[in-house]
Structure 1
Amino acid sequence: MKLLFFISSLSSGGAERVTVTLANYWAAKGTDVVIVTVTGEDLDFYPLHPAVRRIGLALDGVSRGSLEGIANNYRRVVALRAILVKERPSIAIALMPAANVLLVLASMGMGIPTIGSERVHPPCMPLGRLWESARRLCYGRLRAIVAQTELSANWLAENSTAERDRITVIPNPVTLPLLASRPSLVLAECKRDMGYKRILLAVGRLDRQKGFDRLIDGFAQLADQQPEWGLVILGEGEQRSALEAQCRANGVEARVCLPGSVGNVGECYDAADLYVMTSRFEGFPNTLLEALAHGLPSVAVDCETGPSEILRHEVDGLLVPQDDSAALVGALERLMMDDELRKSFGKRAVEARQRFAVERVARMWEKLFSNV
């Protein structure tokens, strides 16, 4: 079997990590795997198995209008089709809406089974009128679609030409140790240099979706009561300046560290004491899954999809309602103050390694391959 993955890039995102994890798993088992991206290879963040073949189209870039956007996407379709003709994969898999649509257009008339994959609950991230229309029309031409939750699967069936029996729910996998790359951060040194005894850790892009603004507000309410704790937020994004200003306004700039994106996030999970996820929306958040797999007790905002499928309330962490700042502060305070409860949750958290093991998730994908 030859598998071809198509995705926008292999930068430091959740869909990218899933792509690399699955590709590396199958490549290690002798499957012929090729990954194609719209970008070149210069943005690659995660290390690939030596047997994975890599093709970067280097056709990314921002379009300055609708006509230029159509022209750019036409070039991407032509380039992808040429690769499909050359590679003739047994199955082609796309991840994220734009890639799903481009794969449909590039593979038309070729007879190659195609699988699309959504990585965020669709209504939470509107695509704009043109791409929404393209998704609605093109998804019916995919042989199968992978959603991460039942709610997302039902939405896709109601809002596209895809039939519900072609939409399969498959969670994200986790594999340990996590793939490591540079830059590296020694969280223990961060703890020592800033005078922390305990670390509250968060990971994600610095954008509105991840809700770090409400995390900083919540931490500021606890800072005086919890002098041993510091907050570390790993990630980069357009909200950095706003979040730094928010820390200063709350008087916690010395207690909050924003070191940017790091390649050794697994070591950071191991060095932290508590994990927190405050996203306004998600698909199936890898960071929460990874934190639990490292035995890190967690607090997560129960956004519409994702957290409740991963974290077991009062078993390995605490779920708090969306847009309830008091509940978030209360959950964080409860775990910050209770060493034994953190230990108890951490012992159960590692069960995520089996619940979402890459071998188990890969078998779900392989069953889908057989069906298509």
Structure 2
Amino acid sequence: MKIRYMLLHAYGMGGTIRTVISQANAMASLGHEAEIVSVVRRRDEPQFAIDPRVSLTTLADQRDGVPEDGLGRRAWRRIRGKIVPHGEFAARYFTEAVERAAIGYVASLRDGVLVTTRPALNLIAARRGHKSVVRVAQEHMSLDAYREGVRHDIARYYGAFDAIAVLTRTNLREFRRLFPRGPIMRIPNAVEAGDGRHSSGRNPVVAAAGRLVAQKGFDMLIPAFAQVARRHPEWRLRVFGTGPKKAALAALIEEHGLGDHVTLMGRSTTLQDELADASVYALSSRFEGLPMVMIEAMTHALPVVAFDCPTGPADVLTHGRDGLLVPPGDVDALAAALDRLVADRDLRVRMGAAAAATAADYAPEVVMPLWEHLFEELLAGAPVGGSRWA
């Protein structure tokens, strides 16, 4: 079967990009004709490995730069694009030329499966895709995380899809309220276990990872860890990732006198080893989809301390078994939960073992057959949905 995956920027970094590339690689390994379509391209090479059997197509090559907005393009952005809502998080990418290229590509297709991977692309597929193409929308975020205009367009147009795939049970309930009879199914992202090495729980390191942006809440994690460091000065916090908040977070580390205790590690090419060498994983996000790096940490038998933020952590973790959940935004509660694990290695080891068992449900050999079966059902015209996909 022919399966096309449409990404905004297949050459970029990010959990959705990595996940979708992994799906395409898996479909190619199963003998299917897989293609990744990158709407824009701003790098020479992809950041994640793409199977040579997967073809890679670019619609708008921007390696020489993005043209500055003229009057007409500014008007296009100010009013909204032809389809892409102004409030879509990536709306700035969709200049008139880029949106026209994406619409033209989608409208030209007449066969196979088209998988789109964010609201902007989903809306283009829903409104301009041909009915001869099996159209599948992937949603990688909570519905509540989107702005009102985006939610409005989702409710109005997503009914055109043959299937809407969400990541968590919470997401499933959200979308079933919008589309009670719609083909909504839960298929979590697959998580590779790396070399499978488990943490010993002995190294006094708390790990965290993600883009250095407001969503990830590192501005709350740092003061929480300051409380931990006062009681356990031998412990360290390592934050992996890059992003626009780096300078502000560095200043916060300095403000709390944590220069010897907290390190902004930048981007790591050995993150799996770094996770296995840590003893606790912290997730301080304000909101999540399905927290992939958290599950990767769990594959290394790391117990998790997490804010119980909208969707994500509570869909994976069981409080008190494989991690500790605390009220969203409660810095003192986050500090207390970290302190509880930092102070008790036996608890870390016990919860870490449970975390590894939970993470096994997200292994590629469990998840990828769900995608293959879904595509086969859709191409055969079989009805999908129901409790089997819950």
1:1-372 mapped onto 2 (5 Å cutoff): 1-10=1-10, 11-40=12-41, 42=43, 44-58=46-60, 65-68=74-77, 70=81, 72=94, 75-76=97-98, 78-80=100-102, 83=105, 89-107=111-129, 109-126=130-147, 129=149, 131-159=150-178, 162-177=179-194, 198-372=204-378
Q: CA deviation at 1:273?
A: 1.6
Task: Give the CA deviation at 1:102.
Answer: 2.1
Q: Name the CA shift for 1:152/1:206 in 2 (closer, same or farther; >3 Å).
A: same
Q: State the 1:59 CA deviation.
A: 5.8
Secondary structure, counterpart of 1:351 in structure 2:
helix
**2:87 matched to which residue of 1?**
none
Letter in 1 for 2:3: L
SS at match of 1:9: coil
Q: CA deviation at 1:361?
A: 1.4
Q: Distance in 2 between matches of 1:305 and 1:132?
A: 16
Gaps of 5+ in 1: 179-195
Between 1:335-344 and 1:80-89, the stretch displaced more is 80-89
1:217-259, Cα deviation, whole Å (9 max, x unpaired): 1011121211111111111112111111111111112211112
Alignment-mate amino acid for residue 150 of structure 1: R
Aligned-partner SS, 1:145: strand
Conserved in 2, the CA contact under 8 Å of 1:27 and 1:33? yes
Cα contact 2:27–2:372 (8 A) shared by 1: no
| Whole-angstrom CA distance in 1 between matches of 2:99 and 2:128 | 5
C-alpha distance in structure 2 between counterparts of 1:239 and 1:133, whole Å: 30
SS in 2 for 1:350: helix
Change (3 A) 1:84 1:324: closer
Tell me the secondary structure at the aligned position of residue 242 of structure 2: coil
Change (3 A) 1:166 1:66: farther
Separation of aligned partners in 1, 2:53 and 2:330: 47
Query: Which letter maps to 2:101?
Result: A
The whole-number CA distance in structure 2 between the counterparts of 1:299 and 1:86 is: 47
Name the amino acid aligned to 2:50.
Answer: L
- Structure 1 residues 81, 125: CA separation in 2 closer, same or farther (over 3 Å shift)? closer
SS at match of 2:81: helix
> 1:115: Cα distance to partner?
0.6
Counterpart Cα distance in 2 of 1:164 and 1:332: 43
* Structure-2-length-normalised TM-score: 0.82
Query: Could you tell which deviates more after superposition, 148-157 or 23-32?
Result: 148-157
The offset of 1:365, in angstroms, is 2.0
* Cα-to-partner distance string for 1:123-162 (whole Å, 9 max, x where unaligned): 1232x63x44433332121111111223323333445xx4
Distance of 2:36 and 2:277 partners within structure 1: 33
Change (3 A) 1:66 1:338: farther
Cα distance in 1, alignment partners of residues 370 and 42 from structure 2: 29
Q: In structure 2, do the counterparts of structure 1 residues 87 and 139 end up closer, same or farther at CA, with 3 Å as the change threshold?
A: closer
SS of alignment partner, residue 165 of structure 1: coil
CA distance in 2, matches of 1:266, 1:253: 24
- For 2:163 and 2:203, the matched residues in 1 are separated by 49
CA 1:137–1:73 in structure 2 vs 1: closer, same or farther (change >3 Å)? farther
Letter in 2 for 1:45: Q
Give the aligned residue type for 1:269: L
Runs of 4+ in 1 over 4 A off after TM superposition: 59-64, 71-74, 81-89
Output the CA distance in 2 between the equivalents of 1:158 and 1:279.
Answer: 25
Q: Is the 8 A contact 2:81 2:99 kept in 1?
A: no
Partners of 1:278 and 1:365 in 2: how far apart? Answer: 30
Determine if contact 2:40/2:98 at 8 Å carries over to the other structure.
Answer: no
1:26 positional shift: 1.4
How far apart in 2 are the matches of 1:154 and 1:350? Answer: 27
Over residues 159-179 of structure 1, what are the superposed CA-to-partner deviations in whole Å (9 max), with x where a residue is unaligned?
5xx45432111211112328x
The RMSD of aligned alpha carbons is: 2.5
Which letter does structure 2 place at the counterpart of 1:5?
Y
Contact 1:6 1:103 in 2 (8 A): no
Contact 1:41 1:55 (C-alpha < 8 Å) held by counterparts: no
Equivalent in the alignment of 2:388: none
Q: Which segment is superposed worse, 275-284 or 70-79?
A: 70-79
How many residues align? The count is 350
Q: CA deviation at 1:358?
A: 1.3
Amino acid at match of 1:70: G
